[in-house]
Amino acid sequence: MMLDFTPSHLSDYRQNGFVAGRPVFSASEVARLRQRIEALEADHSEGAGGHDLAQFFRVNGHVVIPMLAEAARTPAILDAVESVLGPDLLAWSVELFIKEPGSRKTVSWHQDITYWGMGETDDEVTAWVALSDVSVEAGCMRFIPGSHKGRIADHEDTFDADNLLSRGQSIAGVDEAVAVHGPLRPGEMSLHHGRCFHASGANNSNDRRIGLAIRYVTPAVRNHAPGRDWAMPVLGETPRGGWDCIAGPRGLFHPADLALYDRILAGQADTLSAGAEQTVELYLQGGEAS
Ligand SMILES: O=C(O)CCC(=O)C(=O)O
Protein residue whose Cα sits closest to atom 5 of ligand 1:
97
What type of residue is 65?
A: I
Q: Whose CA is nearest to atom 3 of ligand 1?
A: 200
Task: Kindly give the distance from the C-alpha atom of residue 138 to the centroid of ligand 1, in angstroms, as a whole number.
Answer: 13
Q: Which of 98, 103, 113, 141 to mutate to test the pocket of ligand 1 (most atoms within 8 A of CB)?
A: 141
Domain boundaries, the chain: 7-273
AA letter at 223: N
What residues flank ligand 1, with Cβ below 6 Å? 97, 107, 112, 126, 128, 141, 198, 200, 211, 213
Instruction: Tell me how far apart the 2 most distant CA atoms of the chain are, in Å.
Output: 49
Q: Which CATH class is domain 7-273?
A: mainly beta
Instruction: Tell me, in angstroms, the distance from the centre of ligand 1 to residue 188's CA.
Output: 15
Give CA torsion, residues 218, 219, 220, 221, to 10 deg. Answer: 70
Q: How far apart are CA 109 and CA 212, in angstroms?
A: 19
Q: Which helix (H) or strand (E) holds 143?
A: strand 141-143
- Per-position pLDDT tens, the chain of length 290: 667 899 999 999 999 999 999 999 999 999 999 999 999 999 999 999 999 999 999 999 999 999 999 999 999 999 999 999 999 999 999 999 999 999 999 999 999 999 888 999 999 999 999 999 999 999 999 999 999 999 999 998 888 888 988 788 899 999 999 999 999 999 999 999 999 999 999 999 999 999 999 999 999 998 877 788 999 999 999 998 899 999 999 999 999 999 999 999 998 887 766 655 555 544 443 333 22
Closest CA to 59 of 282, 262, 288: 282
Q: Give the C-alpha separation, 16 to 117, whole Å.
A: 24
